Amino acid sequence: MRKLLAGAGIALITSSLGYWFWQGWAAPEPLIPQPPPEAPAPLGLPVAGKDAPAFGAPPPEPPRAAKLSREEVRFNRYDRNRDELVSRVEMMSSRTKDFRKLDRDGNNLLSFEEWAAATGERFAGADSNRDSLLTRKEFLSTRPKRAARPNCRC
């Protein structure tokens, strides 16, 4: 019985493939549309003469942006909403490495004491006009100090 069903299935598949190929070869060639005949230019529009140049003057060069200083790049990284001010939330949003440094007991939770001791003083020290926002000039004072490089290549 299995052989009969297998043979019928194979015969059905073979005949449907044959029919598919036969219909594919019998399909008519697709018609390629012909372009419409040239229409005369509408009245009122200018028509270029035979001696007119094919190309005009090249477009002007786009203005080049001034290269930003390291501090401007750093400031822009923290100024998420581009309002030229860095809020405390913006400043602390992308500082996971610093978060680990602040978390002294290593429980992935910052207590208020841990937070206030490390970041509050730094932010308050940079905020000279006490408006809870850092301008570019104020933000410059939060710049990390560079490590001293050795004088020799040992």
Q: Per the domain annotation, does 93 fall within a domain?
A: yes
The parent domain of residue 84 ranges over 70-140
Q: Which CATH number characterizes residue 111's domain?
A: 1.10.238
How many independent structural domains does the chain possess?
A: 1
Q: Per the domain annotation, does 135 fall within a domain?
A: yes
Distances (CA, A) of 130 to 28, 92, 97, 139, 146: 82, 18, 27, 13, 27
pLDDT of residue 119: 65
Q: What is the mean pLDDT of each run of 10 residues along the chain (154 residues)?
A: 87 84 71 74 72 79 82 81 80 69 74 70 81 85 73 70
Q: Per the domain annotation, does 152 fall within a domain?
A: no
